[in-house]
Structure formats: C-alpha cells, structure tokens
Structure 1
Amino acid sequence: MAPDFAVHYLSSPLGVGLLLAILGLPTLFLRVVAWRSFQRLGLRLVAQGYCAVIAAMFVVSVLVVLTGGGSMEEAGYMFVLSLIFVLPFASFVVMPLSVCLARVGAATVTLMAGAGVVSALALGALKAAYPSNEWGRTHRLEAFVDTALSVGVMATIVFCAFALGARMPLWRFPPRVPEASETA
C-alpha cells in the first residue's frame, strides 16, 4: 500500500529531518532576506504558528477518520500524509504572507481566514479553467465547487491555526512603534 511506504519513510529520522527542513529553510531564508519584516512577527511566534498547524492537522485527521468509522491507525496515516501537503503550504505560503501582513500591521486572524478563502477560490478557478480529465471539462462548475470546498476548508484551517498559534489579534494589530534610528 502506497501510504505505508510514505508513513514509514516520513516517520524515520531522515523523514522527520526532511519535514523540519521544509519548515526551517523557508523560515531562515525569509528571516535573512526580509529581516525587518520578520522581526515584526518574530521567530518564536512563527514556530508557535507551525506547531498550531501541526496540532490542527492532527485534530482534523482524527475527527475525519473517526467520524467515518475508521481507526486511530488510519487517523495516524491520514495525519502523516496530510503533513506532506500542509507543511510546504504553511512554510511557502502562509508564513511569508503572515510576515508581510505583520510588516504593514495587518496580520490578524480575520485577514488570515480571508486569505484561506481566497486561496480556495483561486485553486477552484484554476481547476475549472484547466481540468485534468473529461469529467472536469464537461462539469466545470462542479469541479470548481468541489475543489474550492475541499481545499478551502483545509486552507482556511491552516491559515487560522497559524494565525492563532502565532498569537495574531482577531481584528486589530497593535500600531508599529518606530525605532530610534527611524526617528532621527
């Protein structure tokens, strides 16, 4: 079974190192390249955001599998397999967007949830515009709705979990205090 191999590989020390590299390398790159923007959010809050995303994926995996009549072993498979998609999304899309929003003082849970909805609509539109099979070519609206709903729920969960883990405010971001070098 294909998931068995992926779960075994990702559970090994090399697989865990790969998952940590997926999180760490983009974070380090953004911290070096855009250090002023990154300072506004901070490494500790970014790490908390990542931890919240992983915890949310675990809860979602358990709820989805157990409500479908599955076992905890199947939930573990689903959790590990969801990390393959969620961690790159969190490190290459969610974290850079949150750092950019923090720089302009707009990093809130509300805007991050909105970003999840917008990304779901964009992916649904891409699926409708470029279908991968005959059914998608003849049922573009259904392909859009199916993709937007399935991806939208997960994307919004990832965006909101990161925002809550990074302790972003619900509505307003505190005003930015200028540094001494900026006022002189």
Structure 2
Amino acid sequence: MASDWLFHWMTLPFGLIVIAIAVALPLPLWRRMLGAHYVRIGVQPYVAGYLAALAGVMMVSFGFSYVEFSGRVAAGVLEESQRWTIVPRWTVNMAVLSLVAVLPLLGLVGVPLAAILLRRHWFSHLAAVAAVALAWVVLTCLIWWVPVNNWAKAHRFEAFIDFLTNLLPGMLLVALPFLLAIRYVVYCRREQGHSDDCQTTVAVDASAQVHNDPATVGAEAPQGK
C-alpha cells in the first residue's frame, strides 16, 4: 500500500531529516513577522508550540486507533488479546502519516497566525479559541468543497457534518495546544522579565539610599583618609 511505503520512507534517516526541515522551515517567517518583537520573544515559544502540537498528534492518533480496534473487538472481528498489540503500532503509523498534513498547516497557518496575534498584542485565550474555531470551519469548507466520493457528492450536508466532526479532535488537541503553548511561554517569559526588572530596580534604589544616607557618608569619610 502507498501509506505503508510512505510510513517506511518517513521513518528512514532521510525522511526524518525532511520532517526536521519542515519543522524548522517556518522559523524565518516567524522571525520576520515578529519583527522587533523577536528579540524579546525568541524561539522558545515556537519550539513549545511544535512540541505541544506533536504531543496532540500522538493523542489524536491513539484515540482513533483505540476507537477503531475497540469497535472491531466489540463486533467480534478481533480478539481482545490482539487489541493492545495493534493499537500502539497503528498510533505511531497514524501519527507519522498525519505529519504530511499537520506540518504544512502549522507552518502556513499556525505560525503566521501566532506571530500576528503576538505582534498585535491580541493573544488572549479567547483569541486563540476563536482563531482555531475559524480555522476549523474554513478547513472543513475547503475539504467539503471538492467531494471525495459519490456519497459525499450525493449527501452534501451529511458530508459537511462528517468532515466537521472528524477535524474536531485535531483542532482541539493539535491546533489549540499549539497556540496556547506559544502564549504560555511568551507570557511566562514576560512575567519573568518583569520580575527581574523589579528586582534590579529595588537593588538600585537600595544602593542609592545607602550612598545618600548622611550617616553612611559620614562614616565612610574617615576611612578615605
């Protein structure tokens, strides 16, 4: 099967290099769109976003695999003892194959969207949820627009609902964590920077008070002689 060949190719050293390039390729776009804000934000939120998305890919793949083979066990097609030998393998298989769609979408949509929200100071939890919801509907419409088979062509409304439902786990567990992880790291670094600035200010003020204290100045004068 083509999917078996693709999985084998993607897990070879060359395929892993291609995956790494696909993850790193949007980084110049991230830096360019952030502009002067990149100095303060850096690359850590970018890395955190991709790690959260990849963890979500594994969760979605496991969920689909578990539901699929649990249904086969319930139907009597598969033995219970075989389920947990097949589910992990299918989880990895689905996760790797899904990167073919996930990585381009993150690079072309997720990274620019996160950079715009950060640059415009619009990156709230509500904005992240709204952005994911909008992307969910738009992506569903793009897939639905071209029927994939005769059933989808004959049942347009049912096909739309089917696509909408199938994309929901990926949006909730991949796209949303991608944005929220970026926001979390950015605001943690901002709070840490603010705390460091406060500590520096307190230290400077304390030093100034010591040098301006008449008793301290009088005590230091004889030492100078």
TM-score range, shorter chain: 0.7 to 0.9
Q: Which residue of 2 aligns with 1:122?
A: 138
- 1:99 maps onto 2:143 in alignment: no
**Residue of structure 1 in register with 2:7 after alignment:** 7
User: If each structure's helix is expressed as a fraction of its own residues, which one has the higher value?
Assistant: 2
User: In 2, distance between residues paired with 1:108 and 1:49?
Assistant: 15
What displacement does 1:4 show?
2.1
Contact 1:120/1:149 (<8 A) preserved: no
- Structure 1 residue 135 corresponds to structure 2 residue 148: no
Per-residue deviation, 1:43: 0.9
Kindly name which structure, 1 or 2, has the bigger radius of gyration based on alpha carbons: 2
Within a 5 Å distance, the mapping from 1:75-90 to structure 2 comes to 75-90=91-106
Instruction: Give the aligned length.
Output: 172
Say which SS state the counterpart of residue 25 (structure 2) adopts. Answer: helix
> Quick one: which amino acid aligns to residue 182 of structure 2?
A
Matches within 5 A, 1:34-73: 34-39=34-39, 41-69=41-69, 70-73=86-89
Match of 1:144 among 157, 160, 163: 160
**Aligned AA (1:116):** V
Q: Deviations over 1:102-134 (max 9, x none)?
A: 111112333222222212212333344443444
Q: Relative to structure 2, which stretch is displaced further, 86-95 or 63-72?
A: 63-72
CA contact 2:141–2:160 (8 Å) conserved in 1: yes
Which one-letter code corresponds to 2:156 in the other structure? R
SS of the aligned residue for 1:107 comes to coil
Q: Which amino acid aligns with 1:83?
A: L
Q: Structure 1 unaligned segments of length 5 or more: list them.
A: 178-184
**Matched residue type, 2:137:** L
Q: Deviations over 1:65-87 (max 9, x none)?
A: 12332421111101111111111
Q: Which of residues 92, 113, 118 in structure 1 aligns to 2:129?
A: 113
- In the alignment, is the contact (CA less than 8 A) between 2:30 and 2:111 conserved in 1? no
CA distance in 2, matches of 1:65, 1:132: 22
Q: 1:109 to 1:15 in 2, by over 3 A?
A: farther
C-alpha change, 1:92 and 1:140, in structure 2 (3 Å) is same
Identity among equivalent pairs (%): 27
Task: Give the structure-1-normalised TM-score.
Answer: 0.80
The verdict on how the C-alpha distance between 1:39 and 1:140 changes in structure 2, with shifts beyond 3 A counting, is farther
RMSD value, Cα: 2.6
